[in-house]
Amino acid sequence: MANIIDARGRSCPEPVIMTKNQIDSSPNISLEVLVDTHVAVENITRFATGKGYNVNVEENNRDFKLIIKK
């Protein structure tokens, strides 16, 4: 089961910090991050891949779901 972070409506770097905190506390759990800007998608993807995670992005209208797995 994946943990879900809803970071929609939040400005960077807050979505990245929320993602980092979750990864730090549960590094082997799958994570879903919901965001609503391309900047957040790019920043979270860069952060997570730099930590060795795989990131898949699903777009739904104006929202994005990032699925982050080890």
- 25 part of the active site: no
pLDDT digits (tens, 9 = 90+) for 9-33: 999 899 999 999 999 999 888 999 9
When the pLDDT of each residue in the chain is averaged and rounded to a whole number, the result is 95
- What would you measure as the largest C-alpha separation in the chain, in angstroms? 31
Q: Is residue 50 over pLDDT 80?
A: yes
CA 63 → CA 7, 26, 36, 59, 60, distances in Å? 10, 25, 4, 6, 5
Q: Side chain identity at 12, as an amino acid letter? A: C
Total of domains in the chain: 1
Q: Which of 8, 12, 30, 43 is catalytic?
A: 12
Range of the domain at 48: 3-69
Percent of the chain scored above 70 by pLDDT?
99
* CATH code for position 65: 3.30.110.40
Peptide bond into 15 cis (omega under 30): no
pTM: 0.94
φ, ψ dihedrals at 54, nearest 5° = -95, 140
